[in-house]
Amino acid sequence: MPFISRACLEQIRQRVSIVDVVSPYVQLKSAGHAFKGLSPFSNEKTPSFFVDPQKNVFKCFSSGYAGDMFRFLELKEQLSFGEAVEWIAERFNVPLEYEHDGRHLVENVARSNKKILWDIYSKAEQFFKKYFWNSDGYGIQMRDYWEKVRRFSKESAQTFSIGFAPLDRFELYKCLRRDGYDHAVLQQSGLFYASKNAAQNNLACRYQGRLILPIKDIQGRTIAFSGRCLPFVENVEDPTHEAKYVNSPETLIFVKGNQLFNLHQARQHFDGMKPFFLVEGPLDVVRCWECGLKTAVAPQGTGLTETQLKLLQRYSNFITGMFDGDSAGVKAGLRLMDLGLPLSLQLQYVLLDLDKDPDSLFALQKSACTYESLLEKSLMPVPFIIKAFRRLEMNERRAERLAIDLIYSILAKCPSAIIKYESIRALSGETGIPLKVLEEDFRKLDSKNALQYNISAQTSPTKVERYRDSVEKQLLGFLFHKPECTACILEVLSLDWIDTSVLVGQLLFKIVHEFIANGIEPLTLVKMEVLHLSESEKELWYQILAEPFQIEDERKILVTILQQLYKKFLKKCISAIDKEMAKSSIINASKVEQLRTERYQLKKALVNVHLAVRWNKQ
């Protein structure tokens, strides 16, 4: 996050130990000067996760991840770098400081506006909660409705911060104005709408007379609300009184298609074994929570999006859909398959009866709502799609044809050959159509997408490459762990020697170029955003920083590394000349003779490589 000052980042690194950041996630035990524990990123029985408090970095050998405290939170909590900084600063009471130059003015203003909105929504949440728990008037009716009519517990009301918006549509506005918030800011907050009959420009609450369910981001900050109508509240002044739900509009802190209701809590209960349950609405989530399905989440105020599925995929590939049993819910389930299978998600679906939703289904049979019981009822993607179209279409033959067409179109987008193979087999079993017929039918369709698929497959991102034996990797080790040798390296090393066609060479080139341009600085303090590193380069940076670096004869090894790097460069130059000379029939004789002379000099240099490395180590 560019607008957080460098001095602030260094202050956090000095004041906060990575051990304190990691400890809530991993049970650490002393291992010499470091600590070790089971990996928080994979299931393992033998500890391979190490934390070095001296370097303030971690290294996970089972997953390959490595980095500092900010990187740990980026991976574990799926946060951006800026969000990870904010997370740590808030929990360890480190005041954030921001850059004030012109370059960062826009970012600073946006960050300031977001902070104001977070504060406003936090105060609004407390305002609504107060009215829910009032001991008179609508507060009593609200709790009776919650407990006796809807059969939810008081504990759930506390867990989900349930509230009630009073019928006085101007009360929230007046409350926030008394707290010092500007009219213009409140007008843009999404909490209000302008009322023609309002005195003194008062703004009317968007959710008046409704049950309030706060929507929180991944860090647990309230960013929006969903207001449900109540059967005992008559409010004709509300222009949306006929709507079952009123949801917050999109703001600086809330984008509907990027959020999932309850993900901030569900991710903490995910154990790697059970799936995330994707249900239709907030109250379905509350019901699932009470029944023990703590990993239930719901799309918020919009149809399911690919962004939401990718957000879940950061934590797990296993998702079980359980939308309402009506036609809208079934179509939402089909959308889950259409979006999820191309992402290689492991999908299942619990198809409810036509008049059921998770809330009504489990309200009277909480004990029966277990993961095991739902697993017995769940359908794999192909059987679900077939049954879904049979429910939606009266004509069974047409339903089968539509189902096959949808399955084909989904599989054409799937990069996984295994998913394609298993799905075609399942389709044959469900329809009775011979497997060879279906394979031939799909092959004709799939061949049209083959070229596009091959191109995308070649350019798809891969995991960070391993460079255990490369001289570039070894030289980076010196730059990271032996900074006193950097000046010696820069006296000898030429940027031309570095092979930038590989990831490790790209990182080495950027670091060396930065030193040459702006002076030598310890790499643990260099801001990675200054170097404009890619995600793969950042991953490699953290790996090198976290890996142990112990050598006996530093000078001898460093000289050898530089000689090997120079030899690689010379061989590359010789190879380039050989390719040029292969075109001798189309170049003149004098050019050929010049190339031969250059090649001879390079070969001679290759045989007699000698680098005068002046050892300036203190």
pLDDT at res. 530 = 67
Cα 168 from Cα 149, distance rounded (Å): 24
Q: Which of the two residues, 95 and 277, has the higher pLDDT score? A: 277
Report residue 124 as tokens.
Answer: 């609004």
User: Does pLDDT of 107 surpass 80?
Assistant: no
Whether residue 1 is contained in a domain is answered as: no
Residue type at 135 in one-letter notation: S
Cα 112 from Cα 336, distance rounded (Å): 37
- The distance in angstroms from the start CA to the end CA of the chain is 36
CA triple 406-410-411, angle to 5 deg: 115
Q: 104-113, 225-234, 335-344 — which is least confidently predicted?
A: 104-113
Q: Using 50, 70 and 90 to split pLDDT, how confident is the model at 54?
A: confident
Q: Verify that 240 and 118 share a domain, yes or no.
A: yes
Q: Provide the domain count of the chain.
A: 4
Domain termination site, one of 206, 236, 254: 254
pLDDT at res. 495 = 85
Whether residue 616 is contained in a domain is answered as: no
Domain termination site, one of 431, 458, 485: 458
Cα 92 from Cα 96, distance rounded (Å): 11
pLDDT at res. 175 = 95
Residue pair 289/298 in contact (Cβ under 8 Å)? The answer is: no
Q: Verify that 475 and 570 share a domain, yes or no.
A: yes
3-state secondary structure at position 265: helix
CATH number where 40 lies: 3.90.580.10
Whether residue 439 is contained in a domain is answered as: yes
- Edge to edge, what strands does the sheet with 163-164 contain? 163-164, 211-216, 222-228, 245-247
**Domain that includes residue 138, residue range:** 104-254
- Give the chain's mean pLDDT: 83
Q: Verify that 284 and 351 share a domain, yes or no.
A: yes
- Express each pLDDT in 206-217 by its tens digit: 999 999 999 998
Q: Verify that 569 and 593 share a domain, yes or no.
A: yes
User: Does pLDDT of 618 surpass 50?
Assistant: no
Residue type at 153 in one-letter notation: S
User: Does pLDDT of 519 surpass 70?
Assistant: yes
* Torsion angle of the four alpha carbons 373, 376, 381, 385, in this order, in degrees rounded to the nearest 10: -90
Whether residue 466 is contained in a domain is answered as: no
Domain termination site, one of 91, 120, 135: 91
CATH number where 344 lies: 3.40.1360.10
Q: Using 50, 70 and 90 to split pLDDT, how confident is the model at 513?
A: confident
Q: Verify that 291 and 352 share a domain, yes or no.
A: yes
Whether residue 577 is contained in a domain is answered as: yes
Whether residue 229 is contained in a domain is answered as: yes
Q: Verify that 433 and 486 share a domain, yes or no.
A: no
3-state secondary structure at position 427: helix
User: Does pLDDT of 111 surpass 60?
Assistant: no
Q: Verify that 589 and 497 share a domain, yes or no.
A: yes
Q: Verify that 243 and 279 share a domain, yes or no.
A: no
Whether residue 453 is contained in a domain is answered as: yes
Q: Verify that 351 and 333 share a domain, yes or no.
A: yes
CATH number where 201 lies: 3.90.980.10
Whether residue 531 is contained in a domain is answered as: yes
pTM (two decimals) = 0.64
Q: 115-129, 255-269, 354-368 — which is least confidently predicted?
A: 354-368
Interior/surface letters 328-358, b for 16+ CB within 10 angstroms, e for the rest: ebbebbbbbbbbbbbbebebbbbbbeeeebb
- Express each pLDDT in 437-479 by its tens digit: 998 888 877 665 543 434 333 333 333 344 345 888 888 888 8
- Edge to edge, what strands does the sheet with 34-37 contain? 29-31, 34-37, 49-52, 57-60, 66-68
Q: Verify that 299 and 283 share a domain, yes or no.
A: yes
- Express each pLDDT in 557-614 by its tens digit: 888 888 888 888 888 888 888 887 776 666 677 777 888 888 888 787 777 766 655 5
Q: Verify that 311 and 218 share a domain, yes or no.
A: no
Q: Verify that 331 and 401 share a domain, yes or no.
A: yes
What is the mean predicted confidence (pLDDT) over 527-544? 75
